[in-house]
């Protein structure tokens, strides 16, 4: 009879232990991660009249026909590592560029159909 009471008490303690651990990890998982840094992206006049999509990682920033002036975009860093992707909507050609992990100023140019970037801290 006493052995049954001890067994019930032990099961009760184990259940409480698992509940405590489950709620503790749930609170830790809800913490929001923020990253320091900002990307300043400037698209030169070379893209005037082209239909482009601009992505950082998998987030679409811009999808339009480029104007005749320099276009500036500002993006807060939202991942440890980021990739700038420029997609020509007419040909579906994608040009990826790895971005600096601390944030940077990026100038994107199009020279005779070749897309290049100049990245500054």
CATH class belonging to 38-120: mainly beta
Low-confidence ranges of the chain (pLDDT < 50): none
Tell me the three-class secondary structure of 25-93, residue by residue. Answer: HHHHHCCCCCCCCEEEEEECHHHCCCEEEEEECCEEEEEEECCCCCEEEEEECCCCCCEEEEEECCCCC
For the chain, the domains span 1-31, 38-120
Q: What is the pTM of this model?
A: 0.70
User: pLDDT averaged over the chain?
Assistant: 87
Q: What is the pLDDT of residues 51-81, one digit of tens each?
A: 999 999 989 999 999 999 999 999 998 888 9
Q: What pLDDT, on a 0 to 100 scale, did the predictor assign at position 103?
A: 86
Q: What pLDDT, on a 0 to 100 scale, did the predictor assign at position 27?
A: 63
């Amino acid at each position: 009879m006493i052995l049954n009471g001890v067994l019930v008490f032990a099961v009760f303690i184990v259940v409480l232990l698992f509940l405590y651990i489950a709620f503790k990890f749930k609170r830790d998982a809800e913490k929001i991660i923020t990253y320091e840094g900002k990307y300043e992206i400037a698209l030169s006049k070379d893209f005037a009249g082209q239909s482009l999509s601009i992505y950082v990682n998998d987030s679409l920033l811009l999808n339009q026909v480029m104007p005749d002036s320099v276009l500036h975009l500002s993006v807060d860093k939202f991942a440890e590592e980021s990739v700038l992707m420029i997609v020509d909507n007419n040909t579906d050609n994608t040009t990826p560029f790895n971005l600096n992990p601390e944030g940077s100023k990026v100038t994107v140019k199009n020279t005779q159909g070749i897309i290049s970037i100049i990245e500054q801290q």
